[in-house]
Structure 1
Amino acid sequence: MKIKNTFRLIAASLLLSIPFVHTASSYAHPGEQKEKTVLLNKNAEVSFKDSKGNVVSLNQLKDKVVLINLWATWCSPCLAEMPSLDKLYKDFQGNSKIVFLSVDVDGNLKSSAKFLKKRKYSLPVYQLNSALPKEWSTTSIPTTIILDKAGKLVNKHVGGMNFGSVKFRKALKQLSEE
């Protein structure tokens, strides 16, 4: 519960720090936990494909915190948050309990990989290989989804984020240590 409250505070501070981006957030409140929970083993069909054609299912990521960032190369708020997301990825690369899925919603992996390489980003790029669960789907990007080690939705943030926030980093690290 403490982690969820921490993520709520982080999201609120991020909303205030990015006034040029229209944002909305959806969180699992205590009374809504069952509706917002999506367990990995029940959603083994949720999968992503990388630029080499490898498929990663969420079922393979049990016992890991999963950060899914939905974006596109033409999305200005997505591009604005990309440097801080890439830095977060680099800083947590040594933490085997956290997985980053940078998902290009356009599904053109060749183009998005070239885009990231040109800007010297290290993030691995994926595309959706299956439909997202109803609780995670969105019509707006960027959207960041964070799942705990049990596959429960901890946070869904629609809109740009500053992944460099000290509070966000601490909460992510703490979530990986639970």
Structure 2
Amino acid sequence: MFKRVMVVVAVAATLLLAGCGNDYGVDQHGEKIPSERLDKQWKVINYWAEWCGPCRIEIPELNKLEQQLQGQSVGVFGVNFDGLQGKELSDASATMGINFTVLAQDPAEHFDLPRSEALPVTYIIDEKGKVRAQMMGEQTAAGVLAKIKELKGQ
């Protein structure tokens, strides 16, 4: 009897813990984004649109930044300003040459991000979910990396 109770408790605990992370929806390829990809790590979240000229210049820099940050518990994520979904989001991401993860669901509510009227805009968010910087205009990989190091006190 005790063993059965322990199994039921273990299953219940697992189910409860599985729901603890935030739901970040899917990426530009329709793949579910597990909460571990964003929770408890620093995040660079960039808003872009196909019609935004500076965004087109900035995207290769963000691709480079994502490569440079691999293994450093900092993720680079994009959000389409126009709210494209499904195939439209996938096609736009491919057209723009985006290699980093694009969130189909805008995380603004999760992180209390203000709606920007200008693009591109990049937010740096710490591992606790606090917005640490808002960077307007096109950025370089070196500039964002320097800002992250400054904010981390490195």
Into which bin does the TM-score normalised by the smaller protein fall?
0.5 to 0.7
CA contact (8 A) 1:71 1:102 kept: yes
Find 2:88's aligned residue among 106, 111, 120: 111
Q: Taking every aligned residue pair, what percent have the same amino acid on both sides? A: 25
RMSD: 3.1
In structure 2, what residue type is equivalent to 1:98? V
Q: State TM-score, norm by structure 2.
A: 0.66
Partner SS state of residue 51, structure 2: coil
CA contact (8 A) 1:136 1:145 kept: no
Find 1:169's aligned residue among 133, 136, 145: 145
Match of 2:124 in 1: 146
Match of 2:66 in 1: 89
CA contact (8 A) 1:105 1:128 kept: no
1:117 deviation in Å? 3.2
1:68 deviation in Å? 0.6
Q: State TM-score, norm by structure 1.
A: 0.58
In structure 1, what residue type is equivalent to 2:126? D
1:148 deviation in Å? 1.0
1:157 deviation in Å? 1.6
Distance 1:111 1:137 in 2: 22
1:161 deviation in Å? 1.5
Q: Indicate whether 1:124 and 2:86 are aligned.
A: no
In structure 2, what residue type is equivalent to 1:79? R
Aligned length: 131
Partner SS state of residue 59, structure 2: helix
1:152 deviation in Å? 1.3
Distance 1:152 1:53 in 2: 26
Distance 1:175 1:130, change over 3 A: closer
1:53 deviation in Å? 5.1
Partner SS state of residue 164, structure 1: helix
1:62 deviation in Å? 3.1
CA deviation digits over 1:34-61, x for unaligned, max 9?
A: xxxxxxxxxx77845313152556x973
Distance 1:119 1:72 in 2: 9
In structure 1, what residue type is equivalent to 2:75? V
1:170 deviation in Å? 3.7
Which structure's relative contact order is higher, taking Cα pairs within 8 Å and 6+ residues apart? 1
| Structure 1 residue ranges without an equivalent (≥5) | 1-43
| Structure 2 residue ranges without an equivalent (≥5) | 1-20
Find 2:32's aligned residue among 42, 51, 54: 54
